[in-house]
Chains A and B, each alone.
Chain A
Amino acid sequence: MSEAALRVEDFSFRYRDTKRYAVRHLSFEVPQGGFLCVVGPNGSGKSTLCNALVGLIPHHFTGKLHGTVSVFGSDVSKKTIADLSTDIGFVFQNPFNQLSYTANTVAEELAYGLCNRGVPRDEMVVRVEAIAHTLRLDGLLERNPLELSGGQVQRVALGSTLILNPKILVLDECTTQLDPLGSEEIFDIVRALNEDGMTVVMVDHDMERVARCADTVLALRDGNQVALGTPREVFGMAGLEEQGVDIPDFVRVTRALSASGLADGDIELTEGPTIERVREAMGR
């Protein structure tokens, strides 16, 4: 059995000068190439978990910590954030805060992490062009990143992380400030990367998207782990909405059909099968 990309064991954390634990007793694993979506209402500990996965907890945010978080078997508390960044990339919510503010062009911004690693310029140019092509930034390379739209800046931020070739990508609500099109664009890129073998951990509020793409869903509430499993297992759980965790509309529809006796069987997570169920119900 291959080593887990991420392993979280009985992890609890309380920020310094606060009384409440932001997360409590979290335990899960993400296999290499896995796609974990973290869901839950605001204040449920999703960002705290992301910060812990990339080592910002305990190196940047201090406080009371129990349990361990390991990346490819190494305890994050025993490595520096900079060292961890070779394995794990992090994309935040606000795209403009992910710019280095040292670059006058998108190309320089994309190359920023490579400069910090002492990568020779010739290699940088090749990698910048490649990542720009992947993220459809080719035409923007000479533009000032501060003059781009939110969606474009988020693609630049994603590019400046991906150019470092991380094995794991953590995205903390990175599409919330984007319009639906820009959001889908980012998500398509992330899904393609996952299909190519990259391990992805993503915090997202779009439950339809989570159900469609995640192979594991972790639901949090008030810092506690309320559900962990495949999308079907998690969204099929009774009482999840009562715990403040949203579920896909397709689950609601198929549940309602079943409850009314208009359809049989399990819940549906995606659009196509749900429409089929509705058609069947209308034919009865």
Chain B
Amino acid sequence: MTEQAGGARAEWLRGLNPTAKLAAVLLLGAAAMAFPSPVLGACLIVVLFVVAASSGMLAPFAKLMVGFGIPVTIMLLFIQGCYSPANVTFIADLGFARLGLEGVMSALQTVVTLLVFLGGFYLMNETTYTGELVADLTSRGLPPKAGYLVLASLNVVPQMRRRMATIQEAQVSRGLDMEGSLVSRLRATIPLLGPVIMSSLTDAEERSMTLETHGFHLNEVRHTSYVVVHHARADRPIVVIAVALFVVSLAIRIAALAGLIAI
């Protein structure tokens, strides 16, 4: 068995229903996007940090958020803060350009929204088995073909990488030079692409036959799953809170746009 992120401390997060987690991540991200200020997004990031800490994943989570957040924030603050056409209130003069409040707020809004999505998906990904998510979605009406596409895409990549390594070993043993500069290594990689792509196409044909002979296209059968789908008491409250946050954020946004409230 592979080591699971967060170990035993992440069990509560792992025990949540995968579709509930997916819905919560999407709704919270959408709420952060809809809310007409970065405040909600910032609050949600704090919540995500608390969740990561309680699941024993604080260090890798913080590394990801900081590693992504700092460069993106600097870049967006510079571009939007200095050059957004919406800038009318200037808060600093950098010499070569002036920093506008509207641009800064817009940049922060974008950054926190991205971080909410990124952090949410990270926690979900680390604590959810994709097979379980697809099994749950399929039982809720997702077409089996769509589910297959998701799972097969994830599994085919390592298989192609393995094939690439095999072909590379075979070529190296016949004198292909894979050492040296980046350019020479890139040049050596190009001849490998043909065999990898062609053999992958051949494999795909045989694999489609396997699916057919295993009854993938059986009509009028509701597919079941071997994977156990988790359900927890917290599923519903989490989704309800996420929906409520999204609806309220959207309402506030619409009200702000209509001039009913000032943000």
With A116-B221, A117-B218 known to touch, is A81 a contact of B227 (CB < 8 Å)? no
Tell me whether A120 is interfacial, beta carbon within 8 Å: yes
Decide if A102 touches B155 in the complex (CB within 8 Å). Answer: yes
Q: Which of A34-42, A107-115, A190-198, A247-255 contacts B (4 or more CB under 8 A)?
A: A107-115
Q: Is the CB of A82 within 8 A of B215?
A: yes
User: Which of the 9-residue segments A8-16, A87-95, A214-222 touches chain B?
Assistant: A87-95
Q: CB distance A85 to B213 under 8 Å?
A: yes
- A44: chain B residues at CB < 8 Å are none
CB-based contact A116/B214 at 8 Å: yes
Nearest-neighbour CB distance to chain A for B143, whole angstroms, equals 13
Contact present for B206 and A94 (CB under 8 Å): yes
Contact check, B221 vs A118: say whether CB atoms are below 8 A apart.
yes
Give Cα A160–Cα B151 distance, bound, in whole angstroms: 18
Decide if A96 touches B159 in the complex (CB within 8 Å): yes
Q: Known interface pairs A82-B218, A86-B215, A164-B214. Does A92 touch B209 (Cβ–Cβ under 8 Å)?
A: yes
Indicate if the CB atoms of A89 and B225 lie closer than 8 Å: no
**Number of B residues, CB within 8 Å of A:** 37
Interfacial residues of chain B within 116-155, with CB under 8 A of chain A in the complex: 129, 131, 134, 144, 147-148, 151-152, 155
Q: Is the CB of A114 within 8 A of B218?
A: no
A54 adjacent to B213 (CB under 8 Å): yes
Contact for A121 among B209, B213, B225, CB less than 8 A: B225
Give the A interface residue count (CB, 8 A): 44
Beta-carbon contact of A100 and B222 below 8 Å: no
Q: Verify if B207 is at the interface (C-beta below 8 Å from A).
A: yes
Given contacts A118-B223, A124-B224, contact A60 B215 (CB under 8 A): no
B160 to chain A, nearest CB (A): 11
B129 closest partner in A (C-beta): A104
Query: Beta-carbon contacts of A68-86 to B below 8 Å, as 1s and 0s?
Result: 0000000000001111011
Secondary structure call for the B interface: helix
Q: Does A62 reach chain B (CB closer than 8 Å)?
A: no
Q: Is the CB of A101 within 8 A of B217?
A: no
Give the residues in chain A near B162, CB-CB below 8 Å: 146
Of chain A, the residue at the smallest CB distance from B216 is A116
Residue with the highest number of chain B CB atoms closer than 10 Å, among A116, A118, A161, A164: A116
Docked pose: A176 CA to B224 CA in angstroms: 34
Contacting pair A81 B206 (CB below 8 A): no
- State whether B226 touches A124 (Cβ < 8 A): yes
Cα distance A128–B225 when bound, in Å?
13
Determine whether A264 belongs to the interface, using a CB cutoff of 8 Å to chain B: no
With beta carbons under 8 angstroms apart, the residue of A92, A111, A146, A164 that contacts B155 is A146
Starting from the known contacts A56-B212, A82-B219, A92-B210, 16 additional A-B residue pairs (CB-CB under 8 Å) come to A54-B213, A56-B213, A81-B212, A85-B215, A98-B206, A100-B210, A101-B159, A102-B155, A112-B214, A116-B214, A117-B218, A121-B225, A125-B226, A146-B162, A160-B214, A161-B213
- The chain B residues found within 8 Å of chain A, CB to CB, are 1, 129, 131, 134, 144, 147-148, 151-152, 155-156, 158-159, 162, 203, 206-219, 221-228
Which residues of A come within 8 Å of B, CB atoms? 54, 56, 59-60, 80-83, 85-86, 89-90, 92, 94, 96-104, 107-108, 111-121, 124-125, 128, 142, 146, 160-161, 164
